[in-house]
Amino acid sequence: MESAHGKVFKYGDNVDTDVIIPARYLNTSKPEELAVHCMEDIDSSFVEKVQKGDIIVAGKNFGCGSSREHAPIAIRAAGVKCVIAENFARIFYRNAINIGLAIVECPEASKEISAGDTVSVDFSSGIITDETTGRKFKGQTFPPFMQKIIDAGGLVNYINESRE
Amino acid sequence: MGMTMTQKILAAHAGLESVEAGQLIEADLDMVLGNDITSPVAIHEMDKFEKKGIFDREKIALVPDHFVPNRDIKSAENCKCVREFAKQNGIVNYFEVGEMGIEHALLPEKGLVKPGDAVIGADSHTCTYGALGAFSTGVGSTDMAAGMATGKAWFKVPSAVCFRLSGKFAPRVSGKDLILHIIGMIGVDGARYQSMEFTGEGVAALSMDDRFTVSNMAIEAGAKNGIFPVDGQTEEYVRTHAPEGSTGSPVYRKYEADPDAPYTAVYDIDLAKVTPTVAFPHLPENARTFDDIPDIAIDQVVIGSCTNGRISDLRSAASILKGRRVAKGVRCIVIPATQKIWMQAMDEGLFKTFIEAGAVVSTPTCGPCLGGYMGVLASGEKCVSTTNRNFVGRMGAIDSEIYLASPATAAASAVEGRIADPRRY
Ligand code: SF4
């Protein structure tokens, strides 16, 4: 099973899909075009600073608002490997699983991890390690059905496999 | 243990006797919906399925409405992609400019959703059809693609919050005020991952249009769906909105929550106590009533959207604008949600009222609701809008401000040039 290792970008509660990828850019669905505007309205320097493999840590209800799959697509295309939050809005949660963006719910990590920390996440155990502070947290793992979708690399592959 | 109304619909569509909160199920779908923004992503995903084709050409609805009539070349390409997909697959419910409307006003109007149905749509406000006693919820484009290919979707069965309604609204108070009041009370994640179920004798006092508005904004409290019981008004609505060309009476199923249905919370709301409510920037939960609203001058008013672009919304706004003028320096944009509503408003003379008042009337489109076009805000501008989201940058510049309100409050605000109490009219 995969893991993530990167630097943290930190945001607050209720980060909505309109700030993750503003609607004015929704006339395209190309990942690389969306990535350029990711988080633009909440953090204009995000796109410049983010490096491949980095991690977003946020508060509660991450991804609330519209159903646009463009939001997790933009985050992934910007290079982010994993989003950790206290909890996620339901459509974003579904979409992330369906497209294979790693997400972890962990209220403690969401509070204790600071911007700029280096963090690693082990997806099979849900263990999150803040390497800057040395602290460890236990995030929630997925129920088996969802884990199967993730392992298959998303919903489309899962359906292809289960229809064989 | 008993089941909630939502749980009963889900159990029936999963072929199960009963279900309980938290259970993962696969449900058969009665309708799969997409628009011009979400469908192209789903259509590209469709290519990746090994087994080609769609599950049922009558159970998919494609409604280009967000950037339609085409805003720019890229939007035009998106619409073309949807149009061609609909044609290739013989999709019956594709709605071109000239017959379209904002999807969540259009589907009920065309009789494409019935009580007891299970519906997914690649648009978060798909929860609107809960007003008809259907289970409907927003999903992403990959779910839409899977739905179009297989006719099924996976769900985690939600628990539910119950809202027991009593009494009836005072004049100039409507469904929008009720739902803003509720979101103000429970917060934008107050019903996260849950159903909102509305019950009680107060339901009868809500018009169908009020119910559509309330269910529409369930997502704004984080809910999976917001559902109303099926009563005489619902059945009358379904009878008078049968699909084109259908004969005989429509077939549908009425589900009721069990008396011992489990609710994680129950709220009692007296409709008579709800007063005009405005959600301040930048979250729908920042609800305030007029005892707590300072003097705020505005630049624009938008009356429309899947939340409040229906005929009773337009009538309500017109009743205030009649014989009055939109304040100098304020732009007032009225957008009927569908062609049919447009025609009705025209026949009733509402456009004369709007235009004499100095408002403009647009063809149906989502347009300004998501900062697309037809009313984008400049930096620092303030807008009173009957739409459903006031997030940062939603209607334009990131430092513009959106105040969510009812059509009556929006119209009163247009007249006064500041956020205004509609009860004065
Ligand atoms: S009117 Fe606004 S909220 Fe409704 S479907 Fe269109 S963009 Fe979405």
pLDDT class of A163 with cuts at 50, 70, 90: confident
Is the bond leading into B44 cis (omega within 30 degrees of zero)? no
B38 and B132 fall within a common domain: yes
pLDDT beyond 70 at A52: yes
Atom of ligand 1 nearest to the CA of B307: 4
Residue of B189, B307, B366 to mutate when probing chain A, most A C-beta within 10 A: B189
Q: How far apart are CA B127 and CA B316, in angstroms?
A: 24
Q: Among B362, B366, B386, B391, which residue has the most ligand 1 atoms within 8 Å of its CB, making it the best to mutate?
A: B366
Of B238, B270, B302, the one marking the end of a domain is: B270
Per the CB < 8 A criterion, the answer to whether B318 and B352 are in contact is: no
What is the per-residue pLDDT for A50? 96
What is the per-residue pLDDT for A164? 66
Q: How far apart are CA B108 and CA B243, in angstroms?
A: 9
B110 and B253 fall within a common domain: yes
Of B270, B293, B323, the one marking the end of a domain is: B270
What is the per-residue pLDDT for B259? 95
Hey, what amino acid is at B407?
Answer: P
B240 and B297 fall within a common domain: no
Residue B404: strand pairing partners = B279, B385
B320 and B363 fall within a common domain: yes
Q: Measured between beta carbons, which residues in chain B are less than 8 angstroms from residue A145?
A: 24, 154
Beta strand pairing status for A102-105 and A82-85?
Answer: parallel
What is the per-residue pLDDT for B402? 98
What Cα–Cα distance (Å) separates residue B2 from each residue in A27, A108, B8, B109, B361? 46, 35, 9, 33, 49
What ipTM score was computed for the predicted complex, to two decimals? 0.90
The H or E element that residue B81 is part of is helix B73-88
Q: Which residue has the tokens 């959207």?
A: B305
CB contact under 8 A, A98 and B140: yes
Q: How far apart are CA B60 and CA B112, in angstroms?
A: 10
Give the domain extent around B25.
5-270
B262 and B281 fall within a common domain: no
pLDDT beyond 60 at A1: no
B184-211: pLDDT as tens digits: 999 999 999 999 999 999 999 999 999 9
Q: How far apart are CA A43 and CA A12, in angstroms?
A: 12
**Residue segments in chain B with a per-residue pLDDT below the cut of 70:** none
Residue B418: strand pairing partners = B297
What Cα–Cα distance (Å) separates residue B188 from each residue in B217, B223, B314? 10, 9, 27
DSSP code, position B95: -
What is the per-residue pLDDT for B246? 85
Q: What tokens were used for A132?
A: 């800057």
The residue-averaged pLDDT of A18-32 equals: 92
What is the per-residue pLDDT for A145? 85
CATH number at residue B72: 3.30.499.10
B182 and B281 fall within a common domain: no
B262 and B296 fall within a common domain: no
The H or E element that residue B166 is part of is strand B159-166
B17 and B135 fall within a common domain: yes
What is the per-residue pLDDT for B228? 98
B195 and B66 fall within a common domain: yes
A112-161: pLDDT as tens digits: 999 999 999 998 889 999 999 999 999 988 888 888 898 888 899 999 99
Number of folded domains that form chain B? 2
Tell me the CA–centroid distance for residue B365 and ligand 1, in Å.
Answer: 9
Could you tell me which of B34, B63, B69 has the C-alpha nearest to residue B363? B69
pTM of the shown model:
0.95
B223 and B168 fall within a common domain: yes
Which SS3 state, helix, strand or coil, does residue B405 take?
A: coil
In chain A, DSSP finds a helix count (H) and a strand count (E) of: 8, 7
- Mean pLDDT of the residues in chain B: 97
β strands within chain A, DSSP E:
3-10, 55-58, 82-85, 102-105, 118-122, 127-130, 135-138
Residue B93: strand pairing partners = B61
Measured from CB, residues less than 6 Å from any atom of ligand 1 are B 66, 102-104, 123, 125, 305-306, 366, 369-370, 387-388
What is the per-residue pLDDT for A146? 87
CB contact under 8 A, B38 and A16: no
Could you tell me which of B71, B11, B1 has the C-alpha nearest to residue B36? B71
Of B239, B270, B301, the one marking the end of a domain is: B270
Tell me the CA–centroid distance for residue A147 and ligand 1, in Å.
Answer: 32
B387 and B337 fall within a common domain: yes
B64 and B174 fall within a common domain: yes
